[in-house]
Amino acid sequence: MNPNSLPQNPEDDRFMQQLLRKSAEPMPFPDFDDEVMSAITALEAEAVVPQKVPAIESSAAEAAIAADYREELRRMRTASLRLSWLFFLIGLAAGIALLLSTPSYNIGFLGFQGREAWILIQGICLIWLLMQADQLLLLTKEYLSGSRYSAAKRNKRSAA
Amino acid sequence: MPDSEAYIDAVLAGDRDAFRHLVRLHKDSAWGIALSVLKDAFTARDAVQQAFVQAWLHLGSFRREASFRTWLHRIVIREALKLAKEQQQPAADFADTAYIPDPQPPESGGELRDAHQRYYINQALTRLDARESLVLKLFYLEAYSIREISQLTAWSESNVKVLLYRARQNMRVLLEKTFRLKPEDLYLP
């Protein structure tokens, strides 16, 4: 059964909330504060102080910091990709509008005249458009699969 | 709840004893989270102690994008899961009925006493899978959203939803079939 398709059950949620609130107990170790401060004092005696720069001593804290950075990078990548698509579509619409609204002036382009010149211009624009679209689709595919930024690739690059 | 920010600033300014206030403010919630993973009070205490020491060591790198409580809980969860893996704790036997005491007869009005209710609820949580009990506590007790739990645990949101669904189901089974309690027996207005 797909839990995503289950209707919300407020009564069940309230019941669970009451259960879990009932389960909450204070820590049964009255000397815990002193034990933590003693451990910190012992570390200070070894000349370890709170550092402004992250010290890589704990995989847990390091992972927490790395997770923050990864989340921030993910948000930046998402915003960049959305803007790329937005401007691509705006440019596409503007280009189409320009081509349709421009009357067929008798212009010359690279040795071609009139209609042939317009066809050549449109052909060049179409090729350029397809190249940009291809790059944007590739970027989107990499973003969705996460392959560009995967740990495996990073390790491979750093090993190389 | 007093603002943790002031204590954090004091610690970074050199007042080591200010960290004691942070410990007092957050130790109960941290211990509850560690206990939901490790199922043992003393092991959970060790995990929380390690988490607080790590928090003190890396307090300077705490960027305050989230609350200190959230940041600390993330460290507690990582330490607890790491400790559980190191100890390779066997999964609690969900169907184990050998140590379940007979439920106390309900008092007048069908309500159990406070201590008995807490006992049975915590017994049920102990028998749940570590990830299920953790997700239950984070969602219903610590009031984290699915997205926040996903960020705390590094599990996907869909995985969190599945765990939450299973945890609710299993909790009901434990209370109703194993302990022979009905929801109304545990209801508190």
B188/A18 CB distance under 8 A: yes
Q: Is A38 on the interface with B (CB under 8 A)?
A: no
Q: Number of folded domains in chain B?
A: 2
Q: How many residues does chain B have?
A: 189
In a domain, A147, yes or no: yes
A60 is written with which tokens? 């847990």
- The segments of chain B whose pLDDT lies below 50 read 1, 91-106, 108-110, 189
**Whether residues B83 and B113 fall in one domain:** no
User: From the CA of B152, how many Å to the nearest CA of chain A?
Assistant: 9
Are B150 and B157 within 8 A, CB to CB? yes
B38, B114, B141: best to mutate for the A interface, most A CBs within 10 A: B141
Residue A115: what pLDDT?
78
For chain B, give the DSSP string: ---HHHHHHHHHTT-TTHHHHHHHHHHHHHHHHHHHHH--HHHHHHHHHHHHHHHHHTGGG---SS-HHHHHHHHHHHHHHHHHHHHTPPPP-TT--TTPPPPPPP-GGG---HHHHHHHHHHHHHHS-HHHHHHHIIIIIS---HHHHHHHH---HHHHHHHHHHHHHHHHHIIIIIS---HHHH---
Is residue A157 less than 8 Å (CB to CB) from chain B?
no
Residue B180 belongs to some domain of the structure: yes
Distance (Å, whole) CA A36 – CA B102: 39
Contact residues, chain B, for A29 at CB < 8 Å: 45
Is pLDDT at A148 greater than 80 in this prediction? no
**Number of domains, chain A:** 1
State whether B58 and A26 contact (CB < 8 Å).
Answer: no
Contact call for residues B81 and B134 (beta carbons, < 8 A): no
User: Which chain B residues contact residue A13 at CB under 8 A?
Assistant: 140
C-alpha distance from B141 to closest chain A C-alpha (Å): 6
A20-45 residue pLDDT tens: 988 888 999 999 999 999 999 988 88
pLDDT in tens, B77-103: 999 999 998 877 554 444 444 444 444
Q: Which domain holds residue A103?
A: 67-155
Residue B109 and residue A95 in contact, taking contact as beta carbons nearer than 8 Å: no
Residue B169 included in any domain = yes
Q: Is residue B103 part of a domain?
A: no
Query: From CA B159, how far away is CA A150, in angstroms rounded?
Result: 20
The predicted pLDDT at position B189 comes to 47
Q: Which of B133, B185, B145, B148 is nearest to B74 (CA)?
A: B148
B79 and B112, same domain (yes or no): no
pLDDT at A5 over 60: no
CATH number of the domain enclosing B21: 1.10.1740.10
Higher-pLDDT residue of A84, A106: A84
Which residue shows structure tokens 């239950």? B136
Residue B57 belongs to a domain:
yes
Contact B171, B124 (CB under 8 A): yes
Tens-digit pLDDT profile for residues A58-77 = 567 777 777 777 777 788 88
Option in B31, B58, B141 nearest A21 (CB): B141
Report the complex ipTM.
0.79
* B42 and B75 housed in the same domain: yes
For residue A87, how many other CB atoms are within 10 A of its CB? 11
Contact A66, B76 (CB under 8 A): no
Q: Which residue segment(s) compose the domain that B55 sits in?
A: 4-87
Give the separation between CA B57 and CA A61, rounded to whole angstroms: 9
- Look at residues A22, A24, A25, A10 and name the one whose alpha carbon lies nearest to residue B187: A22
Question: A108 forms bridges with which residues in the sheet?
Answer: A113
> What is the predicted pLDDT for the residue at B128?
92
Q: Is the pLDDT of residue A52 over 60?
A: no
